[in-house]
């Protein structure tokens, strides 16, 4: 199937040649002649390298994250640009692709109609978009690089369209192929608790200040820049910092400016409140909250799995004597406390209760996989559990694994060039 495709004139920006692409794809790939949406992608290449380089499709984390906006090559993109033309995809619903948020979803009708529309925004649709885009670009089988949720998409790609793939690289993104979402959170809550312990061992003074902030928020109304009152449980979302190496230190820097003396007593500073707001506000990526648990949904309802599993971990409760920071989990109360999500509360509930999600992976196809593939598994990853990752790796024929404790979930932000080169070498058996 050919699809409409337009491309901008290339522009050279700080050692990069940048071209913008827009593609028209079916909303529902089962009905290719029905409603169409736009998918945007930005091509980055090195103008100094001659020849027609092959394509590398980058599938970013999420769900609900747009393609990385580069200002210059660096990290893994510096390494990749020597061998590839890099295509940064704005996955459907994000960035410059046809958007899906509280403003646009209102035009779909009631909550049931909105939820039905969003069923077409999971990995199965994303990889079918990618296949149409590949053929529209005139590419043969191409290389893909999946980070975090992008790795989940890569496994879906290997399951349903392996003929489109030359090789697959994955970092921090080996999804469980079977089982309820509950086991994901049972594993990751334990890892987040351990990461809290590690953090407070490194910054022991932050244990007291964290508890102090929690008790203060219970007694004194503090408001984020958007006017919403900051709750303890929303403050605990600052634990998203714990998913990285250097990002963990950023949590300490946030906390060190928490309190300020005012004529009315001790209050949380504007600096601190703004920093927390940037962490917890979902106006820029509402699909993350709406679709997060659906990435584990296969044939059964997720039913707010993280919220249910949380009951087994009292140390994460806001009123715990020394409450811990939470991770990337999504809870139903997000849709009460975030104004960007509040209009979508009923839609989110319908998605959480959906029990007929189609399969995202084909275990049989993965067991006979022939596409060269390599994955970095981070031993202490608090978002994608090591044990579940290795279970998946064993189920994909020929998948080579590099496990390391040197990085956390955002390893490619720390030493992306070395990680990319290592994985590429693994799939190419040492090819320089």
Catalytic residue among 50, 311, 356, 429: 356
Both tokens assigned to 301: 């309802």
Known catalytic residue at 148:
yes
The Cα 115–Cα 337 span in angstroms is 20
**What's the CA gap between 94 and 115, in Å, rounded?**
17
Q: Is-contact 349 341, C-beta < 8 A?
A: no
Per-residue tokens: 180: 């309820």
How many angstroms separate the CA atoms of 340 and 228, rounded? 11
Query: Among this protein's residues, is 409 annotated catalytic?
Result: yes
Q: Which DSSP letter does residue 99 get?
A: B
DSSP letters of 48-94?
TS-S-PPEEEEE-SSSSPPPP--SS--THHHHHTTT-EEEEEE-TBS
User: Is 416 exposed, middle or buried, given 0-12, 13-18 or 19+ CB atoms closer than 10 A?
Assistant: buried
The span from the CA of 290 to the CA of 63, in Å, is 9
**What distance in Å separates the CA atoms of residue 357 and residue 300, rounded to the nearest whole number?**
7
Query: How far is it, in rounded angstroms, from Cα 128 to Cα 147?
Result: 18
- Catalytic residue among 21, 292, 408, 409, which? 409
Catalytic residue among 148, 231, 240, 389: 148
Closest by Cα among 229, 388, 251 to 324:
251
Helix axes 386-395, 181-202, angle to 10 degrees: 140
Residue from 303, 282, 340, 287 nearest 114 by CA: 287
H helices present in 90-180, as ranges: 102-105, 111-118, 123-136, 149-160
The DSSP symbol for 290 reads H
Question: Rounded to whole angstroms, what are the CA distances from 414 to 246, 295, 411?
Answer: 8, 26, 5
Active-site annotation holds for 216: no
How many whole angstroms separate alpha carbon 22 and alpha carbon 41?
Answer: 6
- Rounded Cα distance between 182 and 186, Å, is 6
Secondary structure of residue 342 in the 3-state scheme: helix
> Is the link from the previous residue into 21 a cis peptide, with omega within 30 of 0?
no
Q: Which residues are catalytic?
A: 148, 356, 409
């Amino acid at each position: 199937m050919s699809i409409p495709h337009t491309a901008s004139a290339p522009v050279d920006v700080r050692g990069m040649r940048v071209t913008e692409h827009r593609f028209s794809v079916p909303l529902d790939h089962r009905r290719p002649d029905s409603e169409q949406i736009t998918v945007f992608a930005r091509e980055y290449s090195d103008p100094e390298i001659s020849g027609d380089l092959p394509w590398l499709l980058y599938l970013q984390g999420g769900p609900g994250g747009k393609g990385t906006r580069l200002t210059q090559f660096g990290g893994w993109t510096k390494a990749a640009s020597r061998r590839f033309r890099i295509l940064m995809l704005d996955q459907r619903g994000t960035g410059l692709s046809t958007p899906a948020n509280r403003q646009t979803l209102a035009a779909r009708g009631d909550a049931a109609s909105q939820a039905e529309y969003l069923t077409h925004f999971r990995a199965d649709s994303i990889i079918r978009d990618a296949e149409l885009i590949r053929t529209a670009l005139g590419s043969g089988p191409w290389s893909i690089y999946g980070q975090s949720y992008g790795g989940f998409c890569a496994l879906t790609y290997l399951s349903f369209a392996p003929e489109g793939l030359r090789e697959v690289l994955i970092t921090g993104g080996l999804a469980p192929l079977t089982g309820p979402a509950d086991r994901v959170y049972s594993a990751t809550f334990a890892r987040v608790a351990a990461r809290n312990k590690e953090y407070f061992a490194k910054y022991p003074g932050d244990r007291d200040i964290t508890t102090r902030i929690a008790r203060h928020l219970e007694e004194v109304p503090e408001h984020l820049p958007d006017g919403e009152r900051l709750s303890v449980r929303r403050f605990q979302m600052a634990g998203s910092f714990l998913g990285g190496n250097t990002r963990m230190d950023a949590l300490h820097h946030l906390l060190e400016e928490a309190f300020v003396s005012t004529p009315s007593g001790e209050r949380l500073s504007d600096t601190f409140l703004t920093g927390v707001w940037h962490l917890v506000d979902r106006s820029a990526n509402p699909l993350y909250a709406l679709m997060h648990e659906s990435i584990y949904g296969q044939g059964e309802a997720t039913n707010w799995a993280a919220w249910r599993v949380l009951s087994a971990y009292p140390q994460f409760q806001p009123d715990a004597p020394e409450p811990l920071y939470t991770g990337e989990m999504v809870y139903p109360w997000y849709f009460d406390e975030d104004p960007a999500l509040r209009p979508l509360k009923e839609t989110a509930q319908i998605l959480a209760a959906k029990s007929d999600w189609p399969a995202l992976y084909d275990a049989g196809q993965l067991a006979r996989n022939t596409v060269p593939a390599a994955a970095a598994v981070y031993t202490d990853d608090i978002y994608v559990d090591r044990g579940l990752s290795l279970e998946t790796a064993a189920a994909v024929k020929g998948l080579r694994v590099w496990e390391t404790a040197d990085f956390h979930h955002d390893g490619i932000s720390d030493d992306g060039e070395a990680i990319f080169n290592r994985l590429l070498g693994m799939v190419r058996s040492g090819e320089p």
